Structure 1
Amino acid sequence: MKQQQKSVLDKSSQILSKSEISLFRNSLKQNICVELLQDGFHRSFSEIFSLLSSDVDRRAVSDPGSAVALQTPLEEQWDKLETMRLHLRRAEQAEDTGSWTAVCDQRLVLGQYFWALEDLWLGLHFYHSCADREQGGRSRPATEARAGMADIYLQLGELQRAKQQAELCLHQAEEGGWLDSDGRPLRLRALRALWRIYGRLAEAPLAAEDHDEALKLLHEGHSIAVQSEDKRSESEACYRLGLTYQRAGDCDTAKQFLKSCIQMYDTLQDADGLGKSYRALVKSIESEANTDDTLQCLEKMADISRSNGLQPSLADALICLGNIYYRKRQYQRAGEYFLESFEVLCKLEDVSLLQRVQVLLASARAHSLISQHSADVGASWSAALRRLVVWKETRGRQGPGTESLLPGTNSAPDQQQF
């Protein structure tokens, strides 16, 4: 009897209920919608159903080969549907009890969850549903949602909407003194977003050569960057102003901003920033034909690039130094810089630039030899005469190899590199 009872119990435990069977028979969309309706979360059901319908419409009007058309339908993505179900249930429960900040918290979490490019439309939906609420719309999570919307609109290139949301975020953050989810002041986050937005707004007038309008926007961005207490943003704002003044032909003002930028990048120990700032400063100084300052600036740029392993920047600085000394007819010094740049470019395997530097090096070395030979011809001492005799006796036996142009090397460079 006991064995028979155990057998019956084992068989009954293997029988699935209707709800368990439906999990296998029905789609993800149907299971989640049915569960929400059965548990009484009608508003959550309506919202998810509406979003699923919007996804179908988006895919229907998109081009066949577009990114939207190639995405997996939202109704087939279990993790996203389950995340929406979970947090919308919690939001509806909080709404039923009048806990408006808790409602915004749950919707903020959903906005932050949908951060990938293909999901930005969902992120915007939940951010808006958090920030645009009549109850709770000025709470901490609603204010942070505006910062999230500013970031998304900036990413999508909708700059005026991004600016509007960042300004609203800044206003609400200053009123409430809010911190974001990571414990950082929301006011500073809004200021950094505004700085990026003004930088993007300046791109259109710059492309149209409207320097006055671009400078107006960049100055506004610079002022915001200073308020943001972020030295990296402030240094980048100075750099952009310096470049714009340079393009406008005001090299004196450009130098002022670039020098300020260099000081900040130096404090931040940002080698890349220092390299590009010195490169821009060189252009402003060169326009004044101030050779000494240009050389000093290039030497500093080369030192920074050399010590931080910035090989492309180092090659640029060395070539510029070589060209300046070449124009000054100091061919020996020019050859030294061209040779060092040649060695750097060999490591970078930049063939086109390597060929150019090879020609520059050969020209500088040839001029150096000609200058030395001419000086010996005009000299009256015995050492000069001996050098002329040696040169005359050996010139016919010297091959055309590259070793005669590369002081300090024992063999010609591999011709396959060129």
Structure 2
Amino acid sequence: MAGAGESILPRLFKNSKHRRTKRLTPEEPRKYLSRQEILQATKSLKQNICVDMLQNGNHRSFSVFFHVLSLDQERRESCDPRSVDILPPPLEDQPEKLHKMKLHLTQAELAERSGRWAEACEQYLSLSLFFSSEKEQWLRLHFLHLSYDREHGQSSRAATEALAHAAELRLQQGDLEGALRHAERCLHQAQDGGWLDSTGRSLKTRAQRALWGIYTRLSHAPPLSHAPPLSHAPPLSHAPPLSNAPPLSHARTMSLLQQALSSAQDSGDRHLEAEAVYKLGVTCQLYGDHGAAKKYLNTYVGMCTELDDAAGLGKAYRATASSLLSEGRQQEALLCLQRLCDGSVHSLPRDLVQACVSLGDMYFSTGALASACEFFQRAFDGAVDLRDVPLLHTAQVLVGGAKGHALIAQVSSVLRSDSAPSLQTLLDWKDRRHWAPSGQETADAAADADADATAADDIHPENN
């Protein structure tokens, strides 16, 4: 048993006299969180940035920042609810972009207060270039507008570059009138200043290239595939058609294309100039002015030869053949395409395939089915080598259609004959369900069919 004076419970702490609570001395005050630290921990980043801007007197930065976030919210609320999942996250949920806006907006405001207008334009331009994704084009345009549309600094280098970016972006969106305004103003300011953009390119050249694209789009030049009978020729331009604009007269179209050529020449880009000449030639061809078309296309051939542009030569030969065919000069058109086929064997396989398709079209339209089958088959073989699935599908249809028409012609000629060999041929076809006038042609046809099927399977292994 425990002795007298001893507790029956064990001691939890030994030497408890040394375990006394340490008291804070006046030199060591308690640490409390400041009001600002509490707000930063409990409020959103958007609220903290707004408060910080206001506390530091950056009222204009706060106004722009809050306006942009409000616009983003309105855009999200006005879109189709089914497309919300494919929209980017709200701006207020992207800390990097919020900090980036705060940095450039406050620096731009400080520059404006001290009268450094060019530096303010630079800040807005840098901020606009930060938003580079396709879904953020509206943000880029918004900050580009702040850079060039201002009372002071609107003629600076940064404002001129902002105009170049805005012109290219408007052209991409199809706003041709806005793009034209921006490009013309950019060209005017770049001619006076002789500036380079952020990547070292001439702003004057960029404005002229934009003007070339704008005038070309305004001209409504239709694609070459609209001109019969070369229905498989490549399109004149990759620009989307402007279906909501009224049709233009021949004179207006040519005037716009001449302005495009002038802009291309002023830019010093020979490739751009050659493309402008080609568009003029094809447009003259479509309007029936074959003399002018031949002049422009011959000029284009010379420029492509100078630039060693094999693809451009292919386009020129196909356009020339189409123009010759429209004039009724069929033999010359065939020779032109044949020359392209012979010259494309060792240059560009795709040009060879397209030339063979055009030649097959021409022979098919004149009833020369054997020659049409030959060139369509060459196009099919070339598409297999290129492993170009869309081109392969086109060639398959053309080869099948031409061979089908050739077979119908053969069967019809046999049916019209009342000779004994013709009757025997029909009876043999009835028994075999396979048309072949002779044994050798039967073997050749079977071999061709097996080769075509094997080639198609190699391109589409999932069909096996």
Secondary structure of 1:72's counterpart equals coil
1:295 aligned partner: 334
Looking at structure 2, the residues matched to 151 and 334 of structure 1 have their Cα atoms a distance apart, in angstroms, of: 44
| Root-mean-square deviation over aligned CA pairs | 3.9
Q: Answer whether contact 2:128 2:141 (CA < 8 A) is retained.
A: yes
1:398 aligned partner: 439
Q: Percentage identity across aligned positions? A: 39
Q: Answer whether contact 1:178 1:185 (CA < 8 A) is retained.
A: yes
Q: Deviations over 1:64-94 (max 9, x none)?
A: 3457993422222222211111111211221
Amino acid at match of 1:185: S
Q: Answer whether contact 2:310 2:348 (CA < 8 A) is retained.
A: no
Q: How much does 1:289 deviate?
A: 3.3
Q: Deviations over 1:262-305 (max 9, x none)?
A: 33333333443333332222101222333454234313432454
Distance verdict in 2 for CA 1:246–1:12, change over 3 Å: farther
Is 2:270 the counterpart of 1:231? yes
What TM-score results when the alignment is normalised by the length of structure 2?
0.71
1:250 aligned partner: 289
Q: Which has the higher helix share?
A: 1
1:131 aligned partner: 148
Looking at structure 2, the residues matched to 294 and 234 of structure 1 have their Cα atoms a distance apart, in angstroms, of: 26
Equivalent pairs counted in the alignment come to 383
Looking at structure 2, the residues matched to 266 and 21 of structure 1 have their Cα atoms a distance apart, in angstroms, of: 72
Distance verdict in 2 for CA 1:232–1:402, change over 3 Å: farther
Looking at structure 2, the residues matched to 48 and 396 of structure 1 have their Cα atoms a distance apart, in angstroms, of: 82
Secondary structure of 1:249's counterpart equals coil
Q: Answer whether contact 1:295 1:321 (CA < 8 A) is retained.
A: yes
Looking at structure 1, the residues matched to 30 and 346 of structure 2 have their Cα atoms a distance apart, in angstroms, of: 73
Q: How much does 1:158 deviate?
A: 1.7
Which structure 1 segments of 5+ residues have no match? 369-394
2:430 aligned partner: none
2:321 aligned partner: 282
Structure 2 matches for 1:367-406, cutoff 5 A?
398=439, 401-403=442-444
User: Which of residues 133, 136, 139 is equivalent to 1:122?
Assistant: 139
Secondary structure of 1:179's counterpart equals coil
Distance verdict in 2 for CA 1:336–1:100, change over 3 Å: same
User: Which of residues 303, 306, 312 is equivalent to 1:273?
Assistant: 312
Which structure 2 segments of 5+ residues have no match? 1-17, 221-241, 411-435, 458-464
Distance verdict in 2 for CA 1:304–1:145, change over 3 Å: farther
What TM-score results when the alignment is normalised by the length of structure 1?
0.78
Secondary structure of 1:297's counterpart equals helix
Looking at structure 2, the residues matched to 357 and 256 of structure 1 have their Cα atoms a distance apart, in angstroms, of: 35
Which segment is superposed worse, 18-27 or 214-223?
Answer: 18-27
2:61 aligned partner: 44
Secondary structure of 1:103's counterpart equals helix
Which segment is superposed worse, 135-144 or 319-328?
Answer: 319-328
Which segment is superposed worse, 74-83 or 114-123?
Answer: 114-123
Q: How much does 1:346 deviate?
A: 4.7
Q: Deviations over 1:28-81 (max 9, x none)?
A: 211221222233322211210111122222333333345799342222222221
1:343 aligned partner: 381
Q: Answer whether contact 1:127 1:149 (CA < 8 A) is retained.
A: yes
User: Which of residues 164, 177, 188 is equivalent to 1:147?
Assistant: 164
2:10 aligned partner: none
Looking at structure 1, the residues matched to 438 and 33 of structure 2 have their Cα atoms a distance apart, in angstroms, of: 98
1:315 aligned partner: 353
Secondary structure of 1:401's counterpart equals helix
Looking at structure 2, the residues matched to 323 and 71 of structure 1 have their Cα atoms a distance apart, in angstroms, of: 48
Looking at structure 1, the residues matched to 33 and 346 of structure 2 have their Cα atoms a distance apart, in angstroms, of: 70
Distance verdict in 2 for CA 1:108–1:415, change over 3 Å: closer
1:87 aligned partner: 104
1:170 aligned partner: 187
Amino acid at match of 2:54: L
Structure 2 matches for 1:343-362, cutoff 5 A?
343-347=381-385, 348=388, 350-351=392-393, 353-357=395-399, 360=402
Looking at structure 2, the residues matched to 195 and 22 of structure 1 have their Cα atoms a distance apart, in angstroms, of: 54
